[in-house]
Amino acid sequence: MVDRPNKPSALSSTPGLNPQAQVSISHGSSRVTAVLPTGQSVEVHLYGATVLSWKDSRGQEQLWLSETTKLDGSKAIRGGIPLVFPVFGPSPPDHPATAQLPQHGFARTSRWEFLGKSTSESSEVFQSSRGQSSAEVATADLSVKLDFGLSSGNLEPEVRKLWPHAFGLIYSVTLGCNSLSTSLVVTNEDDKPFDFQVLFHTYFGISDINKTEIAGLDKAEYLDKTEGYAAKTQSANVSFTRETDRVYTPVGGPREPVSIVESGKKRFDVVRDNLGDVVVWNPWQDKAAGMADFGPDDGYKKMVCVEAGSVRGWQVLEPGDAFECAQTIVPQ
């Protein structure tokens, strides 16, 4: 990788024990792939630090990626887990600080640095083998964390003019045998405060949107973007019969899981850390057909976005302070 000045430092890591995860860099140093000894894998594109793929031990893909999305750095990637920062959607007209930025900000369209990997194992390996050898337990509890960095000094000059704040971002993608976690640390390196929004725009792969529901949002207030941001309250699970684009504030708090349910059975739990909002999105037939980077046209039947974020208001970060947030996805 090319070393650049002013890049953020990697987060502290925990030295791993054997067996080790395998990490490789490919596609002209634009993608980082990690594979656990048990077969789970994750692939991250340095354009946007976008997670492209997350597979279980059987090689089954958990995310949805558009067949027609660009992967050459010319346009934001449609699918996987794009990172939204410092503004969600188009900038509100009454918020001049982000008024000139493109939709969803610049994090998903900037070239990030790969800062390195670290591995860890559960302390269970030192406490009890439960009838297994230490090697077996260690393999079962092994995880690998990939760190990526973006700073104001690494932004393209035209982007820096649109958002002239000194900042540092550390984005970590942690692959476990039974989970995938994404976390972000935002540091204000400026001499004045700035505000921002952040969101993990996760595209989940599903079998049939007509048989899919989102649980954990009952009684939650939400803004319906398909009806001019009308304020409503959810009753029962969320189901899909048309275009859905809603910003929820779950009543149970970030630690209460929001679940994707297919044919009455849970597929995924999403747990948030320091993120108060959840966006639920499916473009449905007409909108999907009108997006050139959404393919195939009927791909909306095989995906649903459940997006952990802080987007209904603005996080204000004082000089020298840091903001941390995360989501953990657990297949069921």
Annotated binding residue at 103? Answer: yes
Q: Is 307 designated active site?
A: yes
- The pTM for the full model equals 0.90
Catalytic residue (one of 43, 201, 213, 262): 201
Residue 272, φ and ψ in degrees, nearest 5 = -105, 155
CB 31 within 8 A of CB 45: yes
Please give the pLDDT value at position 94: 85
Catalytic residue (one of 43, 113, 213, 307): 307
Please give the pLDDT value at position 80: 98
Cα separation of 65 and 71, whole Å?
Answer: 11
Please give the pLDDT value at position 11: 56
Just give the CATH number of 22-331: 2.70.98.10
For residues 263-300, one letter each, b for 16 or more C-beta atoms within 10 angstroms of the residue's C-beta and e for the rest, the string is eeeebbbbbbebbbbbbbbbbbeebbeebeebbeeebb
Annotated binding residue at 234? Answer: no
What are the average pLDDT values for consecutive 10-residue runs of the chain, which has 332 residues?
50 58 97 98 98 98 98 97 97 89 97 96 41 45 94 96 97 98 98 98 98 98 97 98 98 94 98 98 97 97 98 97 98 96
Annotated binding residue at 78? Answer: yes
Whether a cis peptide bond, with omega within 30° of 0, leads into 19 is yes
